[in-house]
Chain A
Amino acid sequence: MEPSALVRELFAWAHADAAGLMASVLALPVLVPLLGALFAFVMRRWAAAIGLVTLLALLATVLLLIPWLLGAGAQGLAVGGWGAPLGVDLYADGLSLAMLLMTAVVGLGISLYAHSYFRADPIREQAFWPLWLLLLTALNALFLSRDLFNLYVTLEILGLSAVALTALAGGAKALVGAMRYLLVSLLGSLAYLLGIALLYHAYATVDLALLAARIDAAPATWAALALMSAGLILKTALFPLHFWLPPAHASAAAPVSAALSALVIKGSYYLLVRIWLELVQVQSDGVATFLGLLGAGAVLWGSIQALVQTRLKLLIAYSTVAQIGYLFLAFPLAAGTGGLAWSGALYLALSHALAKAAMFLAAGNLLRFGGHDRIADLDRVVQRLPLSMAAFALAGVSIIGLPPSGGFIGKWLLLEAALSTGRWGWGIVIMLGGVLAATYVFKVVGFAFTQAEHPHQAQRVPATMEWVAFALAVAAVLLGFLVAQPLMLLEIGDPFAAHVGGMGP
């Protein structure tokens, strides 16, 4: 390059208006945790501090995005300046934003908890932070990407970091759980990737928006959708492919369990919803009904399994299996009710994230306190560890779907979608799941009042760990009061509107 050209360029740099910079802000939710992970990896001693600062920065970033998107509507960013189909596009609408916000808030809670949780174990602590920050990177990248292949890479980062975090607990159960989780996750990813291969070779693009415009009901489309959906369903642990979830989620360390149940499964679910919303206009067709039936199966089977568990963490993990089922009820219910059913499912996803994180963290406190998580031997924790028990119960209120809580709003919207179109069956499943959830939640609460046969020596639980669990549970309940704002957020860019493209009739 000639010197004069360089000077000209530098001059232009100084006078450039900041449009590129502004647009690139959209990449910050990915870059912030990524940089945090790199620093935490290099500077091991400072890992925890770096992690907490990163989470605060991430929350600030996402909060910054909210007014921007509320004002300017959905935003895109052609990373590298190329744009689809050559380049990779990022895109943020209300749906992505809600998921980003959920990740940042729950992530901050889990981080604060983890800071106390790992304090006595520097080796685990140093290993935890880079993996955890990479997990957040993957989630945010997943929520922002519009490119199916790029999404494959984010899915892999998500899966591998989740597996490594699960194994972090050590011990045979956690390792075996992690191993099974890894195999399942890899299998899911490959099925998804094969689907993408078919889509690319049929339509010469992997960009969701372009695909939506080009796609037609060719055999390749259906095969690809089937492969991708199967892979994602496996990763989301929808009944009957949920077998891997309870052992993994129950055997991990408390903050990891919380992250897995609250956030990680939402990643693949989000992607599935995106693909369906963009590529297939969900009508009341067989596939949607099929997904709904699996969801209903998950609600009932997961709840019943939760009910018969004798270990608290397994109970909570099966509760996750059941709650995942609710998210899939939106597929059949979306026909004719559109935004109502999807808002309901997404509202459930958000409140489940808060509530389930609170539950697992509270369970972690009980585990540390008593040294075990046998439900029948909880031994009067209701007065000995009231804050954690309150966290569990409040989170339970949201999981059950009692008013006022985020879970109630989600179930109300789903129920409204079901009943306004006269689909009683789905409505009955929604109600039944709530009653079963009440039974298993209060099974735990009941034993928290009684005395165990063999009283045990109790360990101290740091106050931070108790307060974080409590705060998340309160947030899950408060989500039931502040309904207008989250719903307004979800509206940005109209993600649930019927798209022009797609294969709908």
Chain B
Amino acid sequence: MSLEAWIPLLVLCSSLLPGLMIFGLDESRVRLRTTLNLGGALTKLALVGVMFWGVSQGIEYEVRISFLPGLDLALRAGPLALLFLVLSSLLWLVTTIYAIGYLEGSPHRSRFFGFFSLCVTATVGVAMAADLLTFLLFYELLTLATYPLVVHRGTEVARRAGQVYLAYTIGGGALMLFGIVWLYTLTGTLEFTPLGFVSELDPTTHPALILIFIFLITGLGVKAALVPLHVWLPMAMVAPAPVSALLHAVAVVKAGAFGIVRVVYEVFGVEFSAGLGVTLPLAVLASITILYGSLRALFQDDLKRRLAFSTVSQVSYIVLGVAIASPIATVGGLVHLIHQGLMKITLFFCAGNLAETLGVHKVSEMNGAGQRMPWTMVAFTVGAFGMIGAPPVAGFITKWYLGLGALDAGQHWVLLVLATSSLLNAAYFLPILHAAWFREPPAQWPAERSLGRGETSRALLWPPIITAVAALLAGLLASLPFSPLEWARFIAEREFRPL
């Protein structure tokens, strides 16, 4: 095998092997565990960096193992894969640091970090999967690896949340499997190809293709939390904060959204999908999700639940960008994969900090939080403005491109959705910011703890600051080469037939 084939495997192993080793570690071996965790995360980041450079030079990294007769398991790192890979490996490093700080002294950390690593392994597998079968394999692995994290606390509420999570994801996985096998019996291949691989099929198969599309999108929509498949996501908030970050920004919902990107562009081909007439319903569904999520978020007092519904809404921007079926909207959708990740993880880190340091879980308890924890709340503010879509934070870029794309495709109603959504975003974030910065802090916080010399421990403080800065930079420097936006453009060019 050539070096190009080894690197994708090494990327997988850089989290898989530490994960497996951590399972075997005794609870007290904190230092070794931390070393394994951070070593794996850094190695992965370095490897992904190498691939990033290589892919920009036109190298494709690929490895295949024969699996079923006529079907291989294949990993390939192309431009689209890299988009997700860079995001997940970067955020994994940050989340690992945060999790080490967050879980300090709590029980069952070996189990936690073991599954944490498996989770990321599955995510990078999802990113690099070169065909639907490999994709499904890692997609299901992701389900399995996140389950123990969701029920980690071992309470009755956690167990219930886990059951709901599984019911949705396994059901979705089953639908996907059904669709994939059906597709395979029609095409004899499952390999992701730019412009898709089904357009040559006989027109008599088109009704079947529409059904397959529905099955696949439903299966993926569960993880991407499309309404009405989003129910599990707010329930899963019982998990520890790093897990929320993982679910919402690094791995799970992203895997769903990324899968939808793959299916629309590289299975069906976006123009062929539009021809089948399946993109418009998808765009409508995404719009409904965007509005519904925002509306629900408005009425949540629990901070994490409010953020969770915000995720429901925000992830659908990606789907919307895909479904508008215009090159410009595609850029907006793809770039939001990164942007939403950076902004949402910032918000969850901050929410975790408030909960850990002050015992604040509710929006109504946040009065004056900015005075007690200024850095945390600065990061939170950046994330919140990004979500609203205020320039110059990254979120603005997304909405700008989505809007342009909608105009380009002649779907003016999307503008209305975007505007309404932005208003709603503002409506549920601005009161928080107002309360945190301009209201008087209470005489006593619900459960204040002293963690380190600053406002909280360093392992908890630095991750949100880093990601907030990244979200800011992604917006400010969007026109530089290798910015998320430029990379998304690079991909979008491949996914549309040259005119």
Contact = CB atoms under 8 A, between A and B. Distances in A.
Interface of A: 380, 382-383, 386, 397, 400, 402-404, 409, 411-413, 415-416, 419-420, 427-428, 431-432, 434-435, 438-439, 442-443, 445-447, 449-451, 481, 483-484, 487
B68 A409 contact: yes
B197 interface: no
Contact of B158 (A403, A413, A449): A449
A427 B108 contact: no
Given A404-B137, A446-B159, A449-B154, A483 B166 contact: no
B66 to A, nearest CB: 6
Interface string B52-70: 0000000000000011110
A404 B163 CA distance: 22
Contacts of A416: 181, 184-185
A409 B152 CA distance: 30
Given A416-B184, A420-B185, 12 more contacts: A382-B111, A383-B107, A386-B23, A416-B185, A419-B178, A427-B181, A435-B174, A439-B170, A442-B147, A443-B163, A450-B154, A481-B67
A237 B388 CA distance: 61
B276 interface: no
B151 A402 contact: no
Contact of A402 (B66, B69, B144, B155): B144
B111 A450 contact: no
Contacts of A409: 68
Contacts of B141: 403
Interface string B395-406: 000000000000
B178 A427 contact: yes
Query: Residue among A383, A403, A420, A483 with the most chain B CB within 10 A?
Result: A403
B140 A403 contact: yes
Contacts of A419: 178, 181-182, 185
Contacts of A438: 166, 170
Smallest CB-CB A-B distances: 4 pairs:
A420-B185, A438-B170, A403-B137, A449-B154
Given A415-B177, A431-B177, A400 B170 contact: yes
Interface residues of B, number: 39
A451 B167 CA distance: 22
A142 to B, nearest CB: 29
Interface in B106-163: 107-108, 111, 133, 136-137, 140-141, 143-144, 147-148, 151-152, 154-156, 158-159, 162-163
Nearest to A386: B111
Contact of B173 (A402, A413, A443): A402
B66 A484 contact: yes
A442 B162 contact: yes
10 contacts: A380-B154, A402-B170, A402-B173, A404-B137, A431-B175, A431-B177, A439-B166, A442-B166, A449-B148, A450-B158
Contacts of B67: 481, 483
A434 B184 CA distance: 20
B29 to A, nearest CB: 16
Contacts of B147: 442, 445
A483 B141 CA distance: 19
A334 B184 CA distance: 19
Contacts of A449: 148, 151-152, 154, 158-159, 162
B162 A435 contact: no
A177 B378 CA distance: 68
Interface of B: 23, 66-69, 107-108, 111, 133, 136-137, 140-141, 143-144, 147-148, 151-152, 154-156, 158-159, 162-163, 166-167, 170-171, 173-175, 177-178, 181-182, 184-185
A383 B166 contact: no
Nearest to A383: B108
A447 B170 contact: no
B57 to A, nearest CB: 33
Given A442-B163, A446-B159, A415 B178 contact: yes
A312 B468 CA distance: 48
A412 B178 CA distance: 9
Contacts of B178: 415, 419, 427-428, 431
B154 A487 contact: no
A420 to B, nearest CB: 4
A450 B144 contact: no
Contact of A431 (B107, B162, B174, B184): B174
A451 B182 CA distance: 43
Given A383-B111, A427-B178, A449-B154, A483 B159 contact: no
A73 to B, nearest CB: 20
B460 to A, nearest CB: 25
A450 B166 contact: no
Nearest to A430: B178
B171 A435 contact: yes
Contacts of B173: 402
Contacts of A428: 178
A446 B162 contact: yes
A435 B163 contact: no
A484 B69 contact: yes
A476 to B, nearest CB: 14
B174 A434 contact: yes
Contacts of B136: 403
Contacts of A445: 147
A474 to B, nearest CB: 12
A486 to B, nearest CB: 11
Contacts of A434: 170, 174, 177
A435 B174 CA distance: 7
Nearest to B65: A481
A402 B138 CA distance: 10
B68 A483 contact: yes
A438 B175 CA distance: 14
A470 to B, nearest CB: 12
Contacts of B111: 382-383, 386
A175 B170 CA distance: 39
Contact of B163 (A386, A403, A446): A446
Contacts of B159: 446-447, 449-450
A443 B182 CA distance: 30
A241 B158 CA distance: 39
B68 A412 contact: yes
A402 B170 CA distance: 9
Given A415-B181, A419-B181, A447-B159, A487 B144 contact: no
A432 B143 CA distance: 18
Query: Residue among B140, B167, B181 with the most chain A CB within 10 A?
Result: B181
Contacts of B166: 438-439, 442
A487 B140 CA distance: 24
A439 to B, nearest CB: 7
B122 to A, nearest CB: 11
Contacts of B140: 402-403
A45 to B, nearest CB: 38
A397 B163 CA distance: 15
Contact of B154 (A404, A431, A451, A484): A451
A479 to B, nearest CB: 12
Query: Residue among B111, B137, B178, B184 with the most chain A CB within 10 A?
Result: B178
Contacts of B158: 449-450
Given A404-B137, A450-B155, A397 B181 contact: no
Nearest to A380: B154
A389 B175 CA distance: 28
A487 B136 CA distance: 22
B185 A487 contact: no
A454 B107 CA distance: 21
Contact of A412 (B66, B152, B181): B181
Contacts of A412: 68, 177, 181
Contacts of A380: 154
Query: Residue among A450, A451, A481, A487 with the most chain B CB within 10 A?
Result: A450
Contacts of B182: 419, 427
Nearest to B134: A403
A484 B70 CA distance: 10
